[in-house]
């Protein structure tokens, strides 16, 4: 049953502005009229207001609890930066998924003992009954899909790896990649698998237009230790031990860094390497422009600075 304690009333555009002003947000770099237009045509309050978490609050006095030095334009700048970040990262996630498939198929082609069918059967047999049923459902429900239905129906009684990879989700691709890494005793593939899983999380966030940047502050979330290959890559790029330790504790930064590291590893000597450099370089400029105007808290500033330096050093 839906609770009533967290229900909040809808607000008219004028009431939204009043709400923001009541939280200490100013309208100096973007006036109230332009802010109402932005919230009515380009975005909406729930999405834009999410970036407030990157700003400090006043403590004590008449304005206790209000945001300090936060202008509405700062929220807009961060929201637009976040959109640009997603637009840059999403193609990279598609690249690494594609390259992971290509790597598995190349290995199958090079190994006389692999026929492309046995590996799918044995992978499915290795799963728990619940996981196997989930994978089977994932494929079966494509039967009437406009794009994949023909493949699913044609290979319903047994499919080779190249068809299986075309039908399953990114999560299944990553899981199968780990299975192959162990099957072929490949440490390199196993290392890549851990970063592939984190790349999948970035893909999901980008594909669903989830806010990413608003989690760059000190929000209390702590990531598991970063993959060793990522830690090594950061060290080789000149990041200090302190920077690696503090920034990689942020789950979102660690996922993004994992994606960038994996793309560099997998796309070397392919046309994708040059393409990604051209599309990602402007991100550094955008980050530094936001940092020049928004007075975000120290943790958020350090996170965005780290991301800008990551782009600069790796691309």
Sign of the torsion angle spanned by Cα atoms 298, 303, 308, 312: positive
Q: Assess if residue 63 is contained within a domain.
A: yes
Of the three residues 60, 76, 92, the one that is the final residue of a domain is 76
Integer CA distances (angstroms), 211 to 21, 49, 85, 238, 245, in order: 23, 11, 10, 29, 24
Residues 123 and 55 in one domain: no
Residues 48 and 187 in one domain: no
Residues 143 and 100 in one domain: yes
pTM attached to this predicted model: 0.92
Sign of the torsion angle spanned by Cα atoms 228, 234, 238, 243: negative
Six-digit token string for 109: 């082609």
Q: Assess if residue 68 is contained within a domain.
A: yes
Residues 216 and 158 in one domain: yes
When divided into structural domains, the chain yields a total of: 2
pLDDT at 220: 67
Residues 292 and 240 in one domain: yes
pLDDT at 1: 40
Going residue by residue through the chain (315 aa), what tens digit of pLDDT does each one get? 444 567 888 899 899 999 999 999 999 999 999 999 999 999 999 999 999 999 999 988 877 889 999 999 999 999 999 999 999 999 999 999 999 999 999 999 999 999 999 999 999 999 999 999 999 999 999 999 999 999 999 998 899 999 999 999 999 999 999 999 999 999 999 999 999 999 999 999 999 999 999 999 877 678 888 988 999 999 999 999 888 889 999 999 999 999 999 999 999 888 888 888 889 999 999 999 999 999 999 999 999 999 999 999 999
The residue to which tokens 């555009």 are assigned: 13
pLDDT at 222: 84
pLDDT at 9: 83
Q: Assess if residue 1 is contained within a domain.
A: no
Helices (H), the chain: 13-22, 32-37, 45-48, 72-110, 118-126, 129-140, 149-154, 161-167, 170-183, 187-207, 228-236, 241-247, 251-267, 271-293, 298-314
CA dihedral (186, 188, 190, 192) in degrees, to 10, reads -150
pLDDT at 2: 47
pLDDT at 273: 82
Q: Assess if residue 147 is contained within a domain.
A: yes
Q: Assess if residue 7 is contained within a domain.
A: no
Cα distance between residue 193 and residue 216, in whole Å: 25
pLDDT at 227: 87
Residues 151 and 293 in one domain: yes
Range of 89's domain?
A: 77-314
Q: Assess if residue 5 is contained within a domain.
A: no
Cα distance between residue 93 and residue 99, in whole Å: 10
């Amino acid at each position: 049953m839906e609770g009533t304690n967290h229900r909040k009333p809808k607000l008219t555009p004028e009431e939204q502005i009043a709400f923001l002003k009541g939280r200490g947000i100013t309208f100096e770099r973007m006036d109230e009229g332009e802010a109402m237009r932005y919230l009515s045509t380009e975005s909406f309050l729930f999405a834009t207001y999410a970036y407030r978490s990157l700003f400090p609050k006043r403590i004590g006095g008449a304005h206790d609890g209000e945001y300090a030095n936060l202008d509405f334009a700062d929220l807009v700048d961060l929201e637009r930066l976040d959109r640009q970040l997603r637009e840059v990262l999403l193609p990279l996630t598609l690249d690494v998924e594609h390259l992971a498939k290509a790597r598995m198929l190349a290995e199958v082609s090079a190994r006389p003992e692999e026929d492309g069918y046995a590996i799918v059967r044995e992978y499915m047999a290795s799963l728990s009954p619940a996981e196997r049923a989930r994978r089977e459902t994932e494929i079966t429900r494509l039967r009437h899909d406009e794009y994949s239905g023909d493949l699913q129906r044609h290979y319903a009684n047994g499919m080779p790896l190249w068809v299986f990879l075309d039908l399953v989700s990114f999560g299944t691709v990553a899981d199968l990649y780990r299975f192959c890494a162990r099957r072929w005793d490949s440490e390199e593939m196993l290392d890549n698998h851990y970063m592939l899983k984190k790349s999948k999380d970035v893909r999901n966030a980008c594909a669903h237009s989830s806010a990413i940047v608003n989690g760059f502050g000190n929000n209390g979330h702590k990531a598991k230790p970063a993959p060793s290959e990522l830690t090594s890559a950061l060290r080789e790029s000149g990041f200090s031990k302190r920077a690696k330790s503090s920034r990689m504790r942020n789950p979102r930064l660690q996922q993004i860094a994992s994606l960038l590291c994996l793309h560099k590893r997998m796309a070397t000597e392919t046309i994708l390497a040059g393409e990604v450099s051209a599309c990602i370089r402007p991100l550094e400029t955008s980050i530094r422009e936001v940092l020049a105007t928004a007075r975000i808290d120290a943790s958020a500033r350090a996170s965005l600075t780290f991301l800008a330096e990551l782009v600069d050093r790796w691309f």
